[in-house]
Amino acid sequence: MSIRLSRRYALKGAGALAVTAAAGASLKSPAIAQNAPIRIGSVATLEGPFATGGQDGYRAMEMLFQAENMTIGGRRIEWIRESSNAQADVALARARKLIEQDNVDIIIGPLSGAEGIAMKDYSATLTGKTIVNGSSGAADTTLRNPSRNFFRFNTDGTQWMAGLGNYVRRTLNVSEVTVVAGDYAFPYAQVFGFSLEFCRAGGRANYLWSPLGTTDFASQIAQIPRSSGALVVVHGGTDGLAFMTQYAQAGGNLPIIGGSIMADQTMLSARGPHRRLMVGMVAAGPMADVIDDPNWTDFVARYRRMPGAFPSPSIHAVNFATNTMAVIRALKEVNGDLSGNQANFQRVLAAQKFKAPTGADVSLDHNRQAISDIFLTRIEERNNQPMTVAFQRATQINQTLGTPEAAFLALGAPSRTNTGCIAAS
């Protein structure tokens, strides 16, 4: 008994010593502030449904930091990675930990929609800290109640649909579509972006919503009106796979128009009858596997050299890369100087204009939200491998899709009942 007790005390003592030593070290660091490291924290989903996406985002960040030799303006970059699980409260707790315990200067993250809104709200309470988005795409992160400390250099879910509605109505000459979509925030935003254009161009749309995680779509498929000229599918992951498989099995043959996360590798790498319908599917989004642009070719080549890289970067790798590029560029411009509560750094960051990995020009609007290019993509089989190929580019799409901001806000937030389908007057 006495041995156990004394061992425990010894351990405690050692622990206390270690803590004191650590505290001592951190107290000393301001004395060499000149070359103190720049502390950059990051939050991405390394757990939960988007774990591979989070990993890929960090892969892209690592690639960009390594290209700078982990040093900017003579200051070393100290990168502290945190993980979330796509839940807003978890992302918020990790962001707090980065700011309060790790004392980071800048956070890059998070990955998913609700997390983004939580971190935007948190950033508004901070002084002298900057949060730059990772890959989250909810519109309201920057559209309503924006925070002066939150910057987003990637486009949002509504922007991603730019050009698709007009393409379906005018180029494909389809006058009525049926939209099948998940019943949650991200599909609302995507459907809103599609419908706004499609209905304004004189199209009519029917909507069939289903909760996230639905696996049997048979009865919904039976309800698709025969008058539909195309099917707009705004599902992702297993929901999308289940829907497409069952639609194919039910003998469905309408042309398929996809949301931005329909054409990801979950759908393309899975085998099954859905593939027959997916080849030729037109979708819109911020990137494609094949983009005829030297910036993209170069980025993909560098990305593929990273350990564990996919044949083609995911949407999350591209978004994290775009945001990280902005931070690196701004830090270089201020020569690593974050003094004055980062006021100068934030001013320089907001004024960044550069080419994203896809070759799209990126700049920020007054809400610090990206204005950039959106690609129309088509799925083609190349070397027996289905991939998305960009065939058209809508340039410089802003967050309100060209509508004056006041008028866009007056339309209200996208929802199941507010689909954005308003016929031109």
Binding positions for other proteins, rule: CB under 8 A: 51-52, 183, 208-211, 213-220, 222-223, 237-238, 241-242, 245-246, 249-251, 265-266, 269-273, 416
Least separation, in Å, of the C-beta of 242 and other proteins? 5
Residue number with CB closer to other proteins (250 or 422): 250
Residue number with CB closer to other proteins (216 or 361): 216
Least separation, in Å, of the C-beta of 249 and other proteins? 5
Residue number with CB closer to other proteins (26 or 269): 269
* Contact present, 233 and 277 (Cβ < 8 Å): no
* Contact present, 366 and 303 (Cβ < 8 Å): no
Least separation, in Å, of the C-beta of 299 and other proteins? 24
List 176's β-bridge partners, or say none. Answer: 204
What string of DSSP letters covers 248-278?
HHTT--SPEEE-TTTTSHHHHHS-STHHHHH
> How far apart are alpha carbons 155 and 158 in whole angstroms?
8
Residue number with CB closer to other proteins (245 or 392): 245
Residue number with CB closer to other proteins (251 or 404): 251
Residue number with CB closer to other proteins (119 or 268): 268
**Residue 167: which of 358, 394, 414 has the closest Cα?**
394
> How far apart are alpha carbons 278 and 379 in whole angstroms?
7
Least separation, in Å, of the C-beta of 110 and other proteins? 19
**Residue 168: which of 261, 253, 260, 231 has the closest Cα?**
231
* Contact present, 154 and 370 (Cβ < 8 Å): yes
Least separation, in Å, of the C-beta of 268 and other proteins? 10
Give me the helix-helix angle, 315-333 and 51-67, nearest 10°.
30
Least separation, in Å, of the C-beta of 241 and other proteins? 5
Residue number with CB closer to other proteins (244 or 338): 244
> How far apart are alpha carbons 286 and 275 in whole angstroms?
23
Least separation, in Å, of the C-beta of 143 and other proteins? 25
> How far apart are alpha carbons 110 and 46 in whole angstroms?
11
Residue number with CB closer to other proteins (207 or 354): 207
Least separation, in Å, of the C-beta of 243 and other proteins? 10
**Residue 121: which of 88, 90, 154, 86 has the closest Cα?**
88
* Contact present, 133 and 338 (Cβ < 8 Å): no
List 78's β-bridge partners, or say none. Answer: 39
